[in-house]
Amino acid sequence: MNLSDTEKDSVNEGDLALLYIDHRRKFLRTIRAGRRLETDLGFLEMKDLIGLRYGSSFQLSSGVKGVILRPNPFDLYSGLRRLSQVVYPKDAAYIILSSSSRRGKDSSGSRHWFRIYDHNTS
């Protein structure tokens, strides 16, 4: 299925969008007709966003304006819930061994693990 440039740039039902009102009010939402975004500044009917182009402005019920943006990977990651976790040395060793890392294998961040893994071996 090929989408035209207009369809790629416009907001469709089911799209994930970043609704930016101000630096404190950023909402990552799936666009669905029949749903509503409610904030302390007013509400927005999601059906009003369908068909707009990314980068377009929208208006809350109170008249406050916002912008609908296509989320980038940072926006997606910042929306995830991350719990803190203690990693004990024996658990770190298991993680390293089960990751199939070995000397000479180039992967992101592997140099840091090998500093631990190769400590005092030369």
Residue ranges of the chain that CATH labels 3.10.330.20 = 5-78
pLDDT at 28 over 70: yes
Which value, in Å, is the radius of gyration of the alpha carbons in the chain? Answer: 22
Residue 79 tokens, joined = 């929306």
pLDDT, tens digit (0-9, with 9 covering 90-100), for 62-116: 999 999 999 988 888 876 777 788 889 998 888 878 876 666 555 555 455 445 4
Pick the CATH number of 5-78 from 3.10.450.50, 3.10.330.20, 3.40.1260.10, 3.40.50.150: 3.10.330.20
The whole model's pTM is what? Answer: 0.61
Please report the pLDDT score of residue 21 as a whole number.
95
